[in-house]
Amino acid sequence: MASSAFTDSTASTSGVIYRQYRDESDLPTVMHLIDNELSEPYTIYTYRYFLHQWPKLCYFAYDGDKAFGTVVCKMDVHRDHMRGYVAMLVVDKAYRGKGAGSELVKMAIREMIQNGCEEVVLEAEVSNTGALKLYQALGFIRDKRLHRYYLNGVDAYRLKLLLPLTEEQEALLRLKEQNCVSVDASSGSVLTASTQIEIKA
């Protein structure tokens, strides 16, 4: 279960500066960091798919002016609720083991919580001990094993984190169940009945 780890917003820890993705000028930084570390080859279209739609779900870790880590995520309506997805996470080898990877994921999850996500999922190679331990420490559980999930033929674990809703979000969901409000799938924002009427008019 998610804990207060996701409610404490830390902009800087141990001299490391964390910041959100700004615009397309950050794209080469994301691509450089990820292409160097992940086994899956991604095209620029894949990066743009995530970064154009969910720029608020991408974060960087900096040592001075050197970016050494990044996380790329998205969130969507899944069945009847909002679900976050961690697509890519990397930390440069020279900076590992100092908590930056966890901090990047926590920042993205805080943003997901603020947008009403009820769960977060991702896939990790079954042999990726470091990533599996990182996510386990954050409360993720192994949901299922995906046979030959990656292009290199390796299996993956689907990991899942259930998020607690705030009282306000729970109240909004109750209203939604009573058809008083609906959630905008693209932004995750909540539309009240009155705003929907205005949009249709």
Ligand X SMILES: CC(C)(COP(=O)(O)OP(=O)(O)OC[C@H]1O[C@@H](n2cnc3c(N)ncnc32)[C@H](O)[C@@H]1OP(=O)(O)O)[C@@H](O)C(=O)NCCC(=O)NCCS
**Nearer Cβ to ligand X (147/200):** 147
In angstroms, give the least distance from the CB of 134 to ligand X: 3
Could you give the C-alpha distances from 69 to 16, 23, 169, in angstroms and in order? 10, 17, 31
Quote the least distance from Cβ 129 to ligand X, whole Å: 5
Q: Give the nearer residue to ligand X in terms of CB position, either 58 or 91.
A: 91
Rounded CA separation 92/44 (Å): 20
Q: Does 32 bind ligand X (CB under 6 A)?
A: no
Shortest separation between residue 24's beta carbon and ligand X, angstroms:
24
Residues 104-133 contacting ligand X, CB under 6 A: 124, 128-131, 133
Pick between residue 105 and residue 183 the one whose CB is nearest to ligand X.
Answer: 105
DSSP-assigned letters across all residues of 153-191:
S--EEEEEEE-PPPHHHHHHHHHHHTTSEEE-TTT-PEE
Binding flag, residue 101, ligand X (CB under 6 A):
yes
Alpha carbons 183 and 191: distance in angstroms, whole number? 6
**For 70, phi and psi rounded to 5 degrees?**
-155, 155
- Other C-beta atoms within 10 Å of 156: how many? 19
Question: Cα(56)–Cα(139) distance, rounded to whole angstroms?
Answer: 22
Helices (runs of H) and strands (runs of E) counted in the chain: 6, 10
What is the C-alpha to C-alpha distance for residues 40 and 14, in angstroms, rounded to an integer? 31
- Any contact of residue 15 with ligand X (CB under 6 A)? no
Instruction: Name which of 154 and 165 has its Cβ closer to ligand X.
Output: 154
Q: Which stretch binds ligand X (CB under 6 A): 17-25, 100-108, 110-118, 181-189?
A: 100-108
Could you say which of 27, 31, 38, 126 contacts ligand X (CB under 6 A)?
38
Q: Is 99 in the site for ligand X (CB under 6 A)?
A: yes
Q: Which residue's beta carbon is nearest to the bound ligand X? A: 101
> Residue numbers of the site for ligand X (CB under 6 A)?
37-38, 89-91, 96-102, 124, 128-131, 133-134, 137
